[in-house]
Amino acid sequence: MDFAPRMSRFKPSPSQIASARVRDLQAEGRDIIKLTAGEPDFPAPDHAKQAVIELMDRNEIQYTPVNGTLAMRQAVRAKFKRDNDLDYALDQIAVGSGSKQVLFNALMATVSSGDEVIIPGPYWASYPDMVKLAGGTPVFVLAGQNEKFKMRPEELDAAITAQTKWLMFCSPSNPTGAAYSQLELRALADVLLRHPHVHVLTDDVYEHLLFDGREFATLAQVEPKLFDRTVTANSVSKAYSMTGFRCGYAGGPKDIIAKMSNMQSQSTAGAGAMGQAAAVAALNGPQELLAERAANLQRRRDILFEKLNAAVGLSCDLPDGAMYIFCSCAGAIGKRAPDGRIIETDTDFTMYLLDAVGVAVVQGEAYGLSPYFRASFVAPEADLIRGGDLIQQACAALS
């Protein structure tokens, strides 16, 4: 088969290669501690599950409108008002099979050859590939540990050209957990106000996973003048532990939302009826569980953080949110493992951890910044403790 040229615009993700190695080792009978989870491990809320059962009892499981059921768009509208002070009309709301599809639709509907999309890094590995699939060019603005993994206003300003179509923004971030304060967003908004041709595609999926009393803010809320050129994407996946329900949504300018809907109408059509019914129940239901779950994850963050920072050659800061620690392994680079191999890159380091002590993490290269690795603290506390101890042992064995 001759494959379409667009398929050569992206390569298999390094995290998939690492996952394949984990599967191989497990098939050999090795016990692997996985610090790689990209989804919370809490159950979906009971009222969300109940809503699906009731929907099925009523047999209301036909096709849904492409832009989402009325109940879903109303729930999203109320959510944006309640949580973000954003007032979207019903025709300014898109609903898709996860925020991933919504982000993809926005790019596919608007980006063409020559267009640039600014992606602050380290970034979620899907962003650059989505931009490339749409025919655009990703422009990375990388920030390391010294900058707390956050893009500074002057760096954003310097990255903007006449070709810039979007700033693709994520806070709290996957993979770093870095969250921008209201003040930091204000400074970025000031830059954006000077460049009226730049649109903002903000991915707020980790909104409710914020620690140490931090408050969430999003760009269109911080600067209402950006409202007309911002698409604010979110989903029930991470907030309510409902990844498999595949329900995401966005608010944005009516013309962009309509084109996103057209795009979706010729791919998957309306999101699944069951996912939307569950999402409506989650968005309209009691919200106390969000803070309880964030507090639970914060405790697990603290356990892993202490373990990693005590390892020779590793250094990390406490992440503000999300579910990940992005840890520097600079101190391990250039060292020799007991089996003789030299650790030259973060990929070498993560492979060494896997082979030597059976702990899986993802190399920073997958997210655009080396030498780091991403460790997820969505794992049972016992695994975080044992995994952390094993990482310390592996680091101590390097010479």
- In the complex, what is the shortest distance from the CB of residue 237 to ligand PLP, in angstroms, rounded to a whole number? 3
Any contact of residue 230 with ligand PLP (CB under 6 A)?
no
Any contact of residue 174 with ligand PLP (CB under 6 A)?
yes
- Measured CA to CA, the distance from residue 74 to residue 186 in angstroms comes to 29
- Taking CB under 6 A as the criterion, the residue among 18, 86, 205, 316 binding ligand PLP is 205
Q: Which amino acid is at 228?
A: D
CB nearer to ligand PLP: give 362 or 394. 362
- Measured CA to CA, the distance from residue 182 to residue 266 in angstroms comes to 38
- Taking CB under 6 A as the criterion, the residue among 98, 136, 313, 364 binding ligand PLP is 98
Any contact of residue 170 with ligand PLP (CB under 6 A)?
yes
Scanning 59-67, 92-100, 330-338, 364-372 for contacts with ligand PLP by CB under 6 A, the matching segment is: 92-100
- Measured CA to CA, the distance from residue 315 to residue 305 in angstroms comes to 9
- Measured CA to CA, the distance from residue 327 to residue 363 in angstroms comes to 10
Any contact of residue 36 with ligand PLP (CB under 6 A)?
no
- Measured CA to CA, the distance from residue 379 to residue 323 in angstroms comes to 10
Residues 159, 163, 166, 168, CA torsion sign: negative
Scanning 235-243, 262-270, 279-287, 363-371 for contacts with ligand PLP by CB under 6 A, the matching segment is: 235-243
Residue pair 98/276 in contact (Cβ under 8 Å)? The answer is no
What are the residues facing 373 on neighbouring strands?
A: 327, 363
- In the complex, what is the shortest distance from the CB of residue 170 to ligand PLP, in angstroms, rounded to a whole number? 5
- In the complex, what is the shortest distance from the CB of residue 124 to ligand PLP, in angstroms, rounded to a whole number? 4
Using DSSP, state whether 158 is helix, strand or coil: helix
| CA distances from residue 267 to 5, 203, 354 in whole angstroms, order as listed | 20, 21, 38
CB nearer to ligand PLP: give 124 or 349. 124
Residue at shortest CB range from ligand PLP: 98
Any contact of residue 243 with ligand PLP (CB under 6 A)?
yes
Binding to ligand PLP by CB under 6 A, coded x per residue (else -) over 107-136, reads: -----------------x------------
Any contact of residue 365 with ligand PLP (CB under 6 A)?
no
Total count of residues recorded for the chain? 399
- In the complex, what is the shortest distance from the CB of residue 395 to ligand PLP, in angstroms, rounded to a whole number? 27
- Measured CA to CA, the distance from residue 189 to residue 223 in angstroms comes to 6
CB nearer to ligand PLP: give 100 or 307. 100
How many residues sit in the footprint of ligand PLP (CB under 6 A)?
13
Residue pair 345/383 in contact (Cβ under 8 Å)? The answer is no
- Taking CB under 6 A as the criterion, the residue among 77, 79, 100, 301 binding ligand PLP is 100
- Taking CB under 6 A as the criterion, the residue among 68, 121, 138, 248 binding ligand PLP is 248
Scanning 68-76, 95-103, 182-190, 343-351 for contacts with ligand PLP by CB under 6 A, the matching segment is: 95-103
144 CB-near residues (< 8 Å, 6+ apart)? 369
- In the complex, what is the shortest distance from the CB of residue 240 to ligand PLP, in angstroms, rounded to a whole number? 11
- In the complex, what is the shortest distance from the CB of residue 266 to ligand PLP, in angstroms, rounded to a whole number? 19
Q: CA angle, 112 as apex, 128 and 364 as ends, to 5°?
A: 5
- In the complex, what is the shortest distance from the CB of residue 120 to ligand PLP, in angstroms, rounded to a whole number? 12
| CA distances from residue 264 to 101, 106, 285 in whole angstroms, order as listed | 8, 10, 28
- In the complex, what is the shortest distance from the CB of residue 394 to ligand PLP, in angstroms, rounded to a whole number? 27
- Measured CA to CA, the distance from residue 350 to residue 376 in angstroms comes to 14
Residue pair 101/268 in contact (Cβ under 8 Å)? The answer is yes
Parallel/antiparallel/unpaired status of strands 116-121 and 248-251: unpaired
Q: Applying CB under 6 A, which residues contact ligand PLP?
A: 38, 98-100, 124, 170, 174, 203, 205, 235, 237, 243, 248
